[in-house]
Amino acid sequence: MKAYIRVIYSSDGSSPGQIDKVFVGKGFKKVPGTPSYEIEVLNEGEMNDLLEELHSTLKGLEVRYIPTLGTMEGQPSVGYRQRLSRLRDFNLEPLELSGLLEEDAIKLRSVVQEKVGVYVDSIVAERQEEVREAEERIIAERSRQHLMEQLKEGRTFHELSKAVPMEEEELSQRLLELVEKGIIRAEQKGRSVVYVSL
């Protein structure tokens, strides 16, 4: 099973690079994107032996660490830790947030507010797009109904373009479709073509 150790650095202590050398020297691998290390252990007893050895090596380096077994977070999912884990929905990593909470709560608030703001903006944008599409469908349906009303009397393209709220290209395409489907017919009257519903 995997054992994890989350490291909390101090500006008064050794540099992250020095700490990294200690962990790598003990067989740990860095967990990408987090101040954490992982290693395979057989059981909790082996982990305890490893921690004893690691503790002696880290002595005097002014670094704090939190060992866990089985999962990276390794903390019980209760209280604020459980609430932190819910922030995954906003592309936030609970383990990083937990460290930030201990180091700089104000920065944590700023990071979370920014991510949540982006998340909410995406919801608002999606809703606005949904409303826009619904409005376009309603307008298109009303235009279609108005066009069909006009075609009952028979109208030229010029007359229809003035009476129906459609772009000329859209109106032309719509009339062509209606003729092809046999819903209306196009009649030549003098020099004009009159469209009339059947």
Quick: pLDDT tens for 93-116: 766 777 777 778 788 788 888 878
Which residues in the chain come in under a pLDDT of 70?
A: 70-86, 88-89, 91, 94-95
Q: Is residue 127 part of a domain?
A: yes
Question: How many whole angstroms separate alpha carbon 57 and alpha carbon 53?
Answer: 7
Lookup: tokens for 67:
């060992």
pLDDT digits 0-9 by tens, 149-177 = 999 888 999 999 999 988 899 999 999 99
Q: Is residue 105 part of a domain?
A: no
Q: Is residue 116 part of a domain?
A: no
Q: Is residue 115 part of a domain?
A: no
Which of 52, 75, 98 is where one domain is finished?
75
Question: How many whole angstroms separate alpha carbon 2 and alpha carbon 8?
Answer: 20
User: Residue 18's domain spans which residues?
Assistant: 2-75
Q: What is the CATH number of the domain that holds 42?
A: 3.30.70
pTM of the model as a whole: 0.42
Q: Is residue 68 part of a domain?
A: yes
Q: What is the CATH number of the domain that holds 130?
A: 1.10.10.10
Q: Is residue 86 part of a domain?
A: no
Q: What's residue 196's pLDDT? A: 92
Which of 13, 46, 75 is where one domain is finished?
75
Q: What's residue 157's pLDDT? A: 92
Q: What's residue 80's pLDDT? A: 62
Domain count, the chain: 2
